[in-house]
Chains A and B, each alone.
Chain A
Amino acid sequence: MVVANRSRAPSLVAPLPLLLPLLLPLLLTAACRGTYEARFDAVQRAYYSGDLEQAEDLLRSRIRREDGGADADLLRLELAQVLQAGEHYAEASVLLAGVDDRLLVLDYSDAPVDELSRVLYSPDRARWHATPPERLMLNVQNMLNFLGQGEWEDAAVEARRARQQLIREHVPAEDRYGSRFVWGLAGICLELAGAQGEAQDCYRDAQTPELERRPGADEGSLLVVVQDGQAPVRVPALAYLYAYGAPRRLQLPALAPRSRGSPRVDLLVDGASAGPLPELLDYGGQSLRRYDDEFPRLLAAAALQVVPRAYIADFVERGLSDHDEPAGSPQNTWARFGGFLAGELVAEALPADTRCWTLLPATVRATRISLPAGTHTVAIALSGPGGDERRAEWTVQLDPGGFALVQLTAAVGGGFSPAASPLARDLTATTAGQQALELLRQPPVSTP
């Protein structure tokens, strides 16, 4: 209850000159910063409207300007996604493998609250931390990139990395076995690399007969993958929580759902229907469910930020007030206002970190079919909600016993509208609010 205890606040005779160096950088940071997704709007607009070249140029230019910066890893992931959508698999795989070696990961659902608070509200803009699902998607995307290049052994390396992510003890069973596409894709990569035993283990856990079909004699194997929709993104949100003896306005990252993509996706081979493509991964749904688990901890992390804000507000108020004047005097009223303003300025200067891997798909549909060796025409038809249809077509050459990948990022060309922040509301009486307050009562447990 630090805030209520005024006697513990620092006492200064003339604090304003001392405060200026503290507040100025914060205000400048606030002015220059903006949220990640706001600064990233132009890239998303280009990408989702189908202008991959412009999206690539914008990202390359930012990477050049901000090389080694806090967003460097994230920008490379976004660029890899753009390159993969344009079937530039080789460069995309190099980018992802490079990021994988140094990626920081933070599990919002079980990280200590004070550590979360430090990362999410860092004044010096901390290096981006991926969430475990983003970390897993990195390996999934790179399995596809290596399969697209015909590099089976490297695809198998990514498969093993994905498998290691999934079999970790703390991964919830519904995430572990809900990721059927990840297991099935890992099985394909390992099968192609000749690691039959490991492949069988993956197929067993995948329960995806769609991906386990092996070609017969004089047949080739075709894997069709459609990444559809737009993954939910983190957006800034406001919430109120009664903490530290007063109602507090908190800034925290909310997860906003976006388009799930086409309601129906059909596969056509040589002009004939090969049936609808089944949805094997609901990344958007998994992320939203996971966010529900993370929410109390995020709320508690946001509430921890109240403490330094209140210190600064108190600091400014004491500096501006005249102790010889009564509390209701004009000068002391202005002092209180000044203190309040300083607290709010600090809050605005340190908004919650909303960075996330924005260009990921919401869903993944896939199937694997065996076709006679030779040349085939493969088409994917995407049906929109209004009955409109988009179609993409490829010519595929299959050798006996060979393998080919057809991969479509369907959200490219699907249009873009920025995700909206949810309305501010008082969460004190909600289950998440109570869980957050309970977390704040516990001593923080950070790893040194």
Chain B
Amino acid sequence: MSARPASKPRIVALGAVLLAGCAMAAAGCGPTFTRGSDDPTLDEPPMSTRLDRKDLDIALEQWITGFQASPFMVTLPRDKPSIAILKIANDTSEHIGGALDNLLSEMETKLVDSGAWTVVDNSRLTTDANMAERLRQLGDTVDPETRVALGKEYGIHYFVNGRVGETTEEVKDTRRVQYYLFLRVTDVATNVIRYQDQVDITKQVED
């Protein structure tokens, strides 16, 4: 049986298919970059069990909404009392310190935007070595010396501090982290907590 030579159109078609295949393979190689403004869904999927911007946005929105509607805000004097956010401590086993720094800055922005407060920048406090050391050692309560310093040296009437705790559980290849964000507003003069709320965030990863 003799082999029939392939016709010219068939060879061309075969070549075209091969070229297309190579082009598709080449297109599939290398990283792909996407701009968030072109694809708003970029921020949607969770990438880890840490806190991302979406988690922080939701948490902050929930906290600020509750704060604005609280009886404390209704009775707030109109002369824009001063407030500072001292620290949001990371009491978890996740490296979320950077995310909490961002949350603190976002909170400052929201408080400024509300027009109800004179906000004392947190970085003003942390550039003072003494105060930075006090804040570093800050636990759930603020000691009297620190409160006196906040009032006298910085003219602060109220301060916000808080912490993030967690419950982590693992079953087989699934790991779930439940975060609890506690934030409270305290009166510097009286050491009375004027507002406190808790925001819950849950993240899960499955291998």
- A153 and B89: CB pair below 8 A? yes
Question: Which residues of the other chain, A, contact B93 by a CB distance below 8 angstroms?
Answer: 157, 160-161, 164
**Residue picked from A153, A154, A156, A447, most chain B C-beta under 10 Å:** A153
Question: Which residues of the other chain, B, contact A198 by a CB distance below 8 angstroms?
Answer: 91
Q: In the complex, what residue of chain A is closest to B133 when comparing beta carbons?
A: A401
A174 within 8 A of B: no
Question: Interface of chain B, helix or strand or loop or mixed?
Answer: loop
A156, B92: Cα distance in complex, Å: 8
Question: Which residues of the other chain, A, contact B138 by a CB distance below 8 angstroms?
Answer: 194
Question: Interface of chain A, helix or strand or loop or mixed?
Answer: helix
Q: If A153-B90, A157-B90, A447-B172 touch, does A194 touch B136 (CB 8 Å cutoff)?
A: yes
Q: If A164-B168, A195-B91, A401-B133 touch, does A154 touch B97 (CB 8 Å cutoff)?
A: yes
The bracket for how many chain B residues form the interface is 10 to 19
- A196 and B95: CB pair below 8 A? no
Restricting to B70-106, which residues have a CB under 8 Å from any CB of A?
89-95, 97
A447, B89: Cα distance in complex, Å: 38
Question: Which residues of the other chain, B, contact A268 by a CB distance below 8 angstroms?
Answer: none
Q: In the complex, what residue of chain B is closest to A162 when comparing beta carbons?
A: B93
- Name the one of A101, A153, A161 contacting B48, with C-beta atoms under 8 angstroms: A101
A128 within 8 A of B: no
Q: If A101-B48, A154-B95 touch, does A196 touch B90 (CB 8 Å cutoff)?
A: no
A152 within 8 A of B: yes
**Residue picked from B48, B91, B95, B168, most chain A C-beta under 10 Å:** B95
A161, B137: Cα distance in complex, Å: 21
A196, B139: Cα distance in complex, Å: 8
Q: In the complex, what residue of chain A is closest to B96 when comparing beta carbons?
A: A157
Question: Which residues of the other chain, B, contact A194 by a CB distance below 8 angstroms?
Answer: 89, 136-139
Question: Which residues of the other chain, A, contact B97 by a CB distance below 8 angstroms?
Answer: 153-154, 157
Question: Which residues of the other chain, A, contact B91 by a CB distance below 8 angstroms?
Answer: 195, 198
Q: If A194-B138, A401-B133, A447-B172 touch, does A97 touch B92 (CB 8 Å cutoff)?
A: no
Question: Chain B's nearest CB lies how many Å from the CB of A309?
Answer: 30
Q: In the complex, what residue of chain B is closest to A142 when comparing beta carbons?
A: B95
Question: Which residues of the other chain, B, contact A401 by a CB distance below 8 angstroms?
Answer: 133
Q: If A101-B48, A194-B139, A196-B139 touch, does A157 touch B89 (CB 8 Å cutoff)?
A: no
Question: Which residues of the other chain, A, contact B172 by a CB distance below 8 angstroms?
Answer: 447
Question: Which residues of the other chain, B, contact A196 by a CB distance below 8 angstroms?
Answer: 139
Restricting to A128-182, which residues have a CB under 8 Å from any CB of B?
152-154, 156-157, 160-161, 164
Question: Which residues of the other chain, A, contact B133 by a CB distance below 8 angstroms?
Answer: 401
A153, B95: Cα distance in complex, Å: 9
**Residue picked from B89, B91, B168, most chain A C-beta under 10 Å:** B91
A195, B166: Cα distance in complex, Å: 14
Question: Which residues of the other chain, A, contact B92 by a CB distance below 8 angstroms?
Answer: 157, 160
Q: In the complex, what residue of chain B is closest to A164 when comparing beta carbons?
A: B93
A193, B87: Cα distance in complex, Å: 12
A97, B93: Cα distance in complex, Å: 11
A153, B90: Cα distance in complex, Å: 7
Question: Which residues of the other chain, B, contact A156 by a CB distance below 8 angstroms?
Answer: 90
A193, B133: Cα distance in complex, Å: 11
A52, B202: Cα distance in complex, Å: 43
Per-residue CB proximity of B93-132 to A under 8 Å, as 1/0? 1110100000000000000000000000000000000000
- A157 and B95: CB pair below 8 A? yes
A153, B101: Cα distance in complex, Å: 12
A130, B5: Cα distance in complex, Å: 59
Question: Chain A's nearest CB lies how many Å from the CB of B5?
Answer: 30
A153, B139: Cα distance in complex, Å: 12
A85, B94: Cα distance in complex, Å: 25
Question: Which residues of the other chain, B, contact A154 by a CB distance below 8 angstroms?
Answer: 95, 97
Given contacts A157-B92, A194-B139, 5 further A-B contacts (CB under 8 A): A101-B48, A154-B95, A156-B90, A160-B93, A194-B138
| Sample (24) of A-B pairs whose CB atoms are under 8 Å apart | A101-B48, A153-B90, A153-B97, A154-B95, A154-B97, A157-B90, A157-B92, A157-B93, A157-B94, A157-B95, A157-B97, A160-B92, A160-B93, A161-B93, A164-B93, A164-B168, A193-B89, A194-B89, A194-B136, A194-B137, A194-B138, A194-B139, A196-B139, A401-B133
Q: Which residues of A are interface residues toward B (Cβ below 8 A)? A: 97, 101, 152-154, 156-157, 160-161, 164, 193-196, 198, 401, 447
Q: Which residues of B are interface residues toward A (Cβ below 8 A)? A: 48, 89-95, 97, 133, 136-139, 168, 172
